[in-house]
């Protein structure tokens, strides 16, 4: 038996200044028991690694993000046989928190 294929259709949704949600798909015939996500700031070597097993979920919340910052995420599928190769990297940028506050104060 082979390790699973890399997840596909990796997408970042619900993007906020400090959080986001990553979603992905796995190939139909594969028995995937979990996932691993690596998250890094663009141009920074520090990596955050999130891993969950015994789950069939295809999404994961990212939290404690910094506003107005570019991040790169990869997703790997985990099966009994091991981890898949990493998905294509997805680059996203968090918005600025300040813009929301500014719009609230326009009435003054």
CB atoms within 10 A of CB 102: 10
Kindly state whether residue 37 falls inside one of the protein's structural domains. Answer: yes
**Which pLDDT score, from 0 to 100, does residue 28 have?**
84
* pLDDT tens figures, 21-73: 999 999 988 889 999 999 999 989 889 999 999 999 999 999 999 999 999 99
The distance of Cα 33 from the centroid of its chain, to the nearest Å, equals 17
**pLDDT class for 86, splitting at 50, 70, 90?**
very high
Kindly state whether residue 1 falls inside one of the protein's structural domains. Answer: no
Kindly state whether residue 3 falls inside one of the protein's structural domains. Answer: no
Range of the domain at 94: 8-107
DSSP E strands, the chain: 8-13, 20-25, 34-41, 47-53, 59-62, 70-79, 82-83, 90-93
CATH of the domain at 49: 2.60.40.10
Kindly state whether residue 83 falls inside one of the protein's structural domains. Answer: yes
Q: How many domains does the chain have?
A: 1
């Amino acid at each position: 038996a082979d390790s699973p294929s890399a997840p596909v259709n990796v997408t970042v949704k619900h993007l906020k200044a400090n959080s986001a949600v990553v979603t992905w798909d796995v190939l139909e015939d594969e028995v995937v028991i979990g996932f691993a996500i690596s998250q890094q700031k663009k141009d920074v070597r520090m990596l955050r690694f999130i891993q969950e097993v015994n789950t069939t979920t295809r999404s994961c919340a990212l939290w404690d993000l910094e506003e107005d910052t570019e991040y790169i995420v990869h997703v790997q599928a985990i099966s009994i046989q091991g981890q898949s190769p990493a998905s294509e990297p997805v680059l996203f940028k968090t918005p600025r928190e300040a813009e929301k506050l500014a719009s609230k104060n326009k009435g003054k």
